[in-house]
Structure 1
Amino acid sequence: MRTSTRALVALTCLAAVTGTIPSAAAAAPPGVAPETRCTTEPTAPTTLPPLSGAKLSAAIAGLPDGEISGAIVQVRGSAGCWQGTSGVANVHTGQSVPQDGRFRIGSMTKMFTAVVALQLVAEGRLDLDQSVRHYLPDLLPAGYPAITVRQVLTYTSGINGTDVPHKDPDWFLVHRYDHWEPGSQLDLTTPPAFTPGTKQRYGNADYIVAGLLIEKVTGRTWEREVTDRIIRPLRLTGTTAPADDPRIRGPHAHGYEALSSANGTTRWVDITQANPSLQWSAAAIISTASDLDRFLVAVFTGQLMPAAQLDLMFTVPDVPTWDADDNPANDEPATFAIGLNRLKIGGLTLWGKTGDRPGYNNGIGATRDLSRRLTYSVNTLHMGGEFPAAVQRIITATYL
């Protein structure tokens, strides 16, 4: 489909008339469907900034634009509640973005993989300080340094991933339906990027190894373990570990890539469907805002693992972030624990995770006491691009 600037304006107007008006609240800006069943007023004493529905509505107003076609935002917790959508789920029909829409959560998958791995640690089936080679004797080449399970789960192993341009539109459109065998995402022909345990480098490779470890010690697929240990017990009805299925089943906003044509128009290519096996245990899961919030609450409150293992999800290793040089003067401290990322915004410390796949950019973050929890998903129009401005507006409106 070719979408001109005039058509984008028409789509924005269509989204404006599909929004709903909250009870006991002012009308939302055009294109925003706000929450009708919860209140921004706190239900318990809090020191957090007041939650403003007007600011959150404004953060996602005016979609589609040149960067994003649609957005879902959900804020929960005793410090206030709000949810809203903006933009279009389907550029052909102008359908509005569903609040319960499913989306590719990308690297937020690592939270699920981390939980399963730590459950296996609690059961005595995985030892954090045992070597990967002990469990997977044929994975790492001879001469590789010893790498522990803990180093894999904290991104401090130095293991390299296969260098494919999976967020480049030209590569993606050719290879979007390719199948990748578990482990083929690793580049083990090169030595680790650094001495294991000395630095932290975030990436998918470590959590691909984590998936292999889970399969080895359980004798079952990673997908089955995630489903039986997390998805089913928590009744995450909109969440799947899809293996090779390229579809998003159930309500969802389509993902698009905006490509410029020679005549000056913009062609929106539907990129919703893709085989997620390249990302596998690092970034393959599909979920919803409500399911992710339920999962995060279960994690933070210790419903999924004993306290000793839960503490590890909030313990960042005391090492620098890898920056490809040996100059300690410009080192930045690590920010990732097992499965979760520590983020400081103003005077707040948040814990959560971001993730993206072509057409989808998402995140979840919460205060440790869960009094304010943000989940968002925006449909980006340029894969592998800069951090979306709308996401920055969403985070600022929620926490500052």
Structure 2
Amino acid sequence: MKNPLDSAALNAAIENVHRAGMPGLFAEVRDGDQVWRGAAGVADVTSGRPVTADMRHRVGSITKTFTAAAVLQQVESGQVGLDTPIGRYLPKLVPGERGDAITVRMLINHTSGLAEFLPYAYRMPVVADTRPQSLDDHRFTRFDPVELIEMGVTAPAVGAPGGAPGVYSNTNYLLLAQLLEEVTGTAAERYITRNVIERAGLRDTELPAGPYVDGPHSRLYEAWFGMIDPPRDYSVYDMSYAGPAGSLISTVADLNRFYGMLLAGEIVGPSSLAQMQRTVPVISQEGKTIDYGLGLHPMEGPGQGTFWGHGGTVWGGGALAMTRADGQRQLAVAVNMQRWNRLDSSGKPQPHPIDGALATLYGLAMYG
């Protein structure tokens, strides 16, 4: 299982992603005591300022692992039941039969059947019909999480509670944030900061929902499937549309530290970690069926064991963090452009050289 880090190969692989069309990206790979950090391309296409591996970055849905861990801490302390109906805690937000049928676990693993609120918040129910203008319209919109939840709860259900496969939905995680607030008496962002981020000793990670990233960071270029050409910078953006479902700011080093500690049982206990690693089939936002646990999903490599982690996207930015089950091998990577694939006439994303180059980088980083 030991594949020492090949710095030259990793440097070439990250450079190839940039050459394939990604403005800039940076990564950290760990194998035991060995650490490789690399960066390629620019943080600003106008000035040519380079990206560096220590930049702070919006990491999108990687936030969900932090939120799930916080909820599991409350399960451990007896304040929350994993298989207790959410209606028992939040009867006004999920009323009636659905509140009785949807459990806390179903929210964490996306089997609640609750619809995604984002298309309703952005008034773009069908991607093919969208106007990129809706992204600009909401750059400084301060969304109310309760109103966003209501959009998801009142929209047509995407499945029966507990049904398989589940359907990935940010509505679930906004509800988990409200649950944390209800049982701890503290805003979810503050609770997660104190009990997950600070517990893990993450110095460059924060959970805001404001529009600005402090410290050295990249611009974030959104291509919106080729409809925004050239891609536009959305690094300044109010993140209240994502909240504790996707507004975390972090670094690749902090992400590797967090997932290493999580898989070592240092953020939640071993029994909670075992629950997090119980997976069900879930249809991702890209329409693929993935195995999904409680805020974690696995990636299997050829004979290299299972990696656990999460990916995430925001307007213009993305990240992936994966750690092998034994905690020895780790990858965290951040990219500064999103939705680079153009759509064909049926609305399906077309292959792009960036996809292959990223897959090569991930494979090399994780499996050697």
Give 1:213's aligned residue.
179
Give 1:175's aligned residue.
138
Of 232, 242, 256, the residue aligned with 2:208 is 242
Letter of the 1:396 partner, please give it: G
- Kept in 1: contact 2:38–2:53 (CA 8 A): yes
Q: Which has the higher helix share?
A: 2
The 5 Å alignment of 1:241-320 reads 241-243=207-209, 245-257=210-222, 267-317=230-280, 320=281
Q: Could you state the TM-score of these two structures normalised by the residue count of structure 1?
A: 0.78
| 1:237-267 deviation line (CA, Å, top 9, x unaligned) | 2111112x20010111111235999xxx964
Q: By how many angstroms is 1:321 displaced?
A: 3.7
Q: Could you state the TM-score of these two structures normalised by the residue count of structure 2?
A: 0.85
Of 306, 328, 332, the residue aligned with 1:349 is 306
Give 1:393's aligned residue.
360
Q: Distance in 2 between matches of 1:211 and 1:260?
A: 31
- Kept in 2: contact 1:256–1:381 (CA 8 A): yes
- Kept in 2: contact 1:63–1:87 (CA 8 A): no
Give 2:337's aligned residue.
380
Q: Distance in 1 between matches of 2:182 and 2:174?
A: 12
Whether 1:148 aligns to 2:103 is yes
| 1:363-390 deviation line (CA, Å, top 9, x unaligned) | 0111101111000001115468768423
Letter of the 1:94 partner, please give it: G
Whether 1:95 aligns to 2:49 is yes
Gap regions ≥5 residues in structure 2: 343-348
SS of corresponding position for 1:160:
coil
Q: Distance in 2 between matches of 1:87 and 1:102?
A: 16
Question: Which shows bigger deviation, 183-192 or 219-228?
Answer: 183-192
Give 2:32's aligned residue.
78
Q: By how many angstroms is 1:198 displaced?
A: 2.1
- Kept in 2: contact 1:357–1:383 (CA 8 A): no
Q: Distance in 1 between matches of 2:19 and 2:134?
A: 25
Compared with structure 1, are the counterparts of its residues 96 and 143 closer, same or farther at alpha carbon in structure 2 (3 Å cutoff)? same
Q: Distance in 1 between matches of 2:263 and 2:104?
A: 22
Compared with structure 1, are the counterparts of its residues 258 and 120 closer, same or farther at alpha carbon in structure 2 (3 Å cutoff)? closer
Of 58, 62, 67, the residue aligned with 1:104 is 58
- Kept in 2: contact 1:255–1:271 (CA 8 A): yes
Give 1:121's aligned residue.
75
Identity of aligned residues (%): 31
Aligned residues: 340
Compared with structure 1, are the counterparts of its residues 127 and 85 closer, same or farther at alpha carbon in structure 2 (3 Å cutoff)? same
Letter of the 1:393 partner, please give it: T
- Kept in 1: contact 2:225–2:339 (CA 8 A): no
Give 1:30's aligned residue.
none
Compared with structure 1, are the counterparts of its residues 392 and 361 closer, same or farther at alpha carbon in structure 2 (3 Å cutoff)? same
Letter of the 2:261 partner, please give it: A
Q: Which protein is bigger by CA-based radius of gyration?
A: 1
Quick one: higher RCO (CA 8 Å, sep 6+), 1 or 2? 2
SS of corresponding position for 1:215:
helix
Compared with structure 1, are the counterparts of its residues 136 and 297 closer, same or farther at alpha carbon in structure 2 (3 Å cutoff)? same
| 1:114-146 deviation line (CA, Å, top 9, x unaligned) | 110000001111111111010001012334351
Task: Give RMSD over aligned pairs.
Answer: 2.7
Q: By how many angstroms is 1:50 displaced?
A: 4.0
Q: By how many angstroms is 1:102 displaced?
A: 0.6
| 1:218-248 deviation line (CA, Å, top 9, x unaligned) | 11111101111122233312111112x2001
Q: Distance in 1 between matches of 2:337 and 2:258?
A: 24
Letter of the 1:341 partner, please give it: H
- Kept in 2: contact 1:66–1:381 (CA 8 A): no
- Kept in 2: contact 1:259–1:267 (CA 8 A): no
Letter of the 2:361 partner, please give it: I
